[in-house]
Each structure stands twice: as structure tokens, then as C-alpha cells.
Amino acid sequence: MVVELATTVAGILLKTCVYNASGPRSGTSTALSKVAQSASGAVLAKSATVQKQSGNPQPRTWHHPDYIASFNSEGLPNNGIDYYIDATTIDDAMKDADDDKPYFVSLSGKSLHDNMEMLHKIASAPTKNRISAIELNLACPNVIGKPIIAYDVDQMDSILEQVSQLTDSLPPLGVKLPPYLDFQHFQQAASVLNRHKKLVKYVASINTLGNALAVDVVSEAPCISSNSGFAGLSGPAVHYTALANVRKLRELLDEDIDVVGVGGVRSGKDVFAMLLAGATAVQVGTCHWIEGPSCFDRIVDELRVLMEEKGCRRIEDVKGKLKAWSKEGAAKSRQALLSVEPAKTNSAVPLSSSELQFWKVLSAILIAVLAIICTLDKQLGQLLPEE
């Protein structure tokens, strides 16, 4: 059976439904070119500000040793909007990509004025027709002293109203959203977005969960120096929140607005779950950060195998098809778990990187001690009188 993983986002064809999130490994044309050469369905550039900026002081990122969570307080380091819409940058980024692989840019202005300035730049840029879509980031928690716009629905409404004046002169627009944790917030945000459905063609949900804190108990200090250690939380730890946001937004948004799922995706199964919840495409951020662009090839292969096993030929066979819980379904899941080889189900919990390092060091010490004992034994044997 041939499995087709193509999808459309904002009416734009993606040959595979998986592509990179804006942020990790997307700040330069060199990094973007590696994404372009992978199975990623699109190439999305780093969230840009009006001017180039270096971001917060280091260390500003931290990964849990088991990679169950990642933290960043980067402060939007990027090369500025002019860089990401420049012909040379796009040429370098897309030179080895399929001819029809789309190139998206992301904007994260510090104010309405900043966002409007960048949008005007795109509207008048010679490369405008090479930019397939714009992702307006209204969800970044990493700019110290700045609010998350999408949590202030009146402010979000005002921004989208201003942006709508440029609709006819811009590529299709998407909006990056923060994680919503209350049904009232979902409804308020969806109401604003639906009012602007002629402008907003997709939403990407979710961005990092803001103001998380990782503490190093050895040094008794935060793991990140910037912003007193407060940082955006990403990775598998936010995956279930992301799934809930995708499902609820798909329920509340007009069908003309696509939902792109993002948050803790690191396998074909994670993508499949996002599709079931209603996503039309799925972005990968933290896994791309840790594993590199080869993650797109692996995840796409895993998704294709899983869909073939389930008899799904195309994305539409999965999208939004999440079933209600049932005893029959739960029993089927338990049976599938029991059918797994005992060696897999009863295997020990994998060692974390810190535990693995400990045993490596301990093994090296034991080998050194054994070598010393053998050397001393030989020397003592030479000192004993002959029989």
C-alpha cells in the first residue's frame, strides 16, 4: 500500500506533513539548508525582529539528562528581518531543496509598530513571491519585560485588525499561539481568530510553556542564568498540553483556519496523535534541536510505517479522527501491549546520560585499580626468595 503524507497548510502544498518549528537550528541559511535537504515538508526560518539581536546572556538553554524536557530563555537571537527575506539567504537555504518545497518566515516584533514594519518590508520585498507564508509569532515568552500578546485577546484583536489592512499584499498568514490552559481562554482566542479568518489561514499551537524553572541541586542554583532562571519549557514534557490545545482549537476554529500541531513531537507516533487531534501538519522543534535535521527523515519514515500498519493511505484518513474512549478500545490497547516481546516489555528502564556517565567512570576506575593490583603482585613475586 502506498502511503501519501502530503498535506496543505494555508492552501500551500507540503509533500510531507512534518516540518521544522521556528527556533532551534533555523537562524542561518546554512542551518535552514540542512532542513531543506531533509524530509521536512517546508522550511521555516527563525522568528525575526526588525534588527539583528544576539539574545540573552549564556547559559540560556538547558536539556534534562533524559531529554524529557528542555528549557530556553534565548531572548530571540536572530539576524533581523532583512536577512531572512534577502535573495541570497533564500538562495542559500533552498538551493538543494525540491523545487516546490515552501519557504516560510516567522516574525516576532516587540510591538505592533515592529510587526507592521516587518510586514511592510515583506510586502515590498523583491523576494515576496518566494515567501510561501508568514508565521506571526504572538506567543514568545522569552523577551524579558514583554507580555505574551496572545494571552491579551484585546491586544491580539487590535494587531490582527491592523495587519488585515495588508492582506492583499502579503503571502498567507499564520499565527503562532501560546499554550492555553483554560477553556475560557480557548474560546476567547478562537473568537478573535475566527473574526479574522480572512487574514489568519492557520495557527501553530503550541509555543513553549512560559516561566518554567529548572534547579541544579548540586550548585543550588538555576540551570539557566538569564531571566533569573525562568525559561520556556519544551520537549516531551509539554506534548500532552500541546495535544489538548490542538484538539480544542480544531473544535472551536472555523474550518478555513488550519491547525498546525507543535510541542514535544519526537516520533511518528507523536505525529499520528497530533493528526488524530485535528492537526493538518506538525512542526518539530526540540527534537530537531537535539537530534539535528535527520530527525525529519526518521519521523517521516516512522509515520509512514505506522499509517501503513493501520491501513491509512493519506493524512485525511487520520486528521481529526480521534475516537471516544471505550472498553473495547482500552482492551485492544492492553492486548497490543501484552503481545509485545517479553524482552521489550520487561526490559530495564534505560539509563539516563548522567547515570551512564557514572558507570563509565566507575568502570574506568575499577580497571585502573585492577591494573595496579596486577602490577604490585608481579613486583612482590619478584621479591620473594626462590624455592
Catalytic residue numbers, as ranges: 140
Task: Measure the CA–CA gap between 232 and 209, rounded to whole angstroms.
Answer: 5
User: Do 244 and 263 contact (CB within 8 A), yes or no?
Assistant: no
Please, what's the b/e burial string for 66-96 (b: 16 or more CB within 10 A of its CB; e: otherwise)?
ebebbbbbbbbbbbebebbbbeebbebbbee
Handedness of CA 258, 259, 265, 270 (dihedral sign): negative
What are the cell numbers at 331? 482492551
* Type of residue at 293: P
* Type of residue at 12: I
Task: Measure the CA–CA gap between 93 and 104, rounded to whole angstroms.
Answer: 11
Q: At what angle do helices 183-195 and 153-163 cross, to 10 degrees?
A: 20
Cell 518566515, residue located: 105
Question: Nearest-CA neighbor of 176 among 158, 198, 156?
Answer: 156
Please, what's the b/e burial string for 24-58 (b: 16 or more CB within 10 A of its CB; e: otherwise)?
bbbbbbebbbbbbbbbbbbbbbbbbbbeebebbee
User: Do 53 and 95 contact (CB within 8 A), yes or no?
Assistant: no
